[in-house]
Amino acid sequence: MPISRRIQALFIITSIILSSCHSRKVAMRNDANGNTEVTVIKRGPYVMVKPDKETAEKYATLMGIKRGDIQNGRLYSFIDEWYGAPYRFGGMGKDGVDCSGFVFLLQLQVYDQPVPRTCATQVNVVKRKYEEDLQEGDLVFFDFDGKQYSHVGVYLQNGYFVHASTRKGVMIARLHDNGIYKFFSRGGSVTDPATSAQND
């Protein structure tokens, strides 16, 4: 790729990342093959943004809660933007995303918290909680097809979670729905890798 086109592509990527969240910075470097790697680095504390009235009303109605209970505008705007995106194994875009890819993007763009890319590795950065203690933003894992931690979603409120379903794509579902609850394995909050390393 010509240098001018590479610089233009980097500018576009950087603009998208920085416009989605002002509390992140980007580090760029070239690998051995000359390809540019973009790394998003967390900086500063996560700041919650109030949702707009329409978004709050929509998701409060969907989950059977009061509009005032929808406080995290970044979370519900992200969900609204991705809602209905089809499932695609290994996908990371709105033309197709898998469950762990969706969680990876949500945690980074909403909470400024990087997590690993796959379900099997995401479960390793979660501090386990009892189901009744789950809070908005916690991860929930399922064992489908006899495979441990083969599906992941993000807990919301009132027993609901958001995930990239293989049949319907990105959607909100009840944890206690008959077809899914029997596969529920564990849930918990994402731990900060830096904090975990200091505690070891």
Choosing from 21, 22, 163, 176, the catalytic residue is 163
Q: How is residue 4 written in tokens?
A: 């001018």
Let me know if 22 is a catalytic residue: no
Q: What are phi and psi of 36, to 5 degrees?
A: -85, 130
CB atoms within 10 A of CB 134: 20
Q: Which residues contact 14 (CB under 8 A, 6 or more apart)?
A: 26, 28, 38
Choosing from 21, 99, 119, 176, the catalytic residue is 99
Under 8 Å between Cβ of 151 and 191: no
Q: How is residue 164 written in tokens?
A: 């990239």
Let me know if 99 is a catalytic residue: yes
Let me know if 21 is a catalytic residue: no
Under 8 Å between Cβ of 77 and 109: no
CB atoms within 10 A of CB 152: 28
Choosing from 21, 22, 151, 176, the catalytic residue is 151
| Catalytic residue ranges | 99, 151, 163
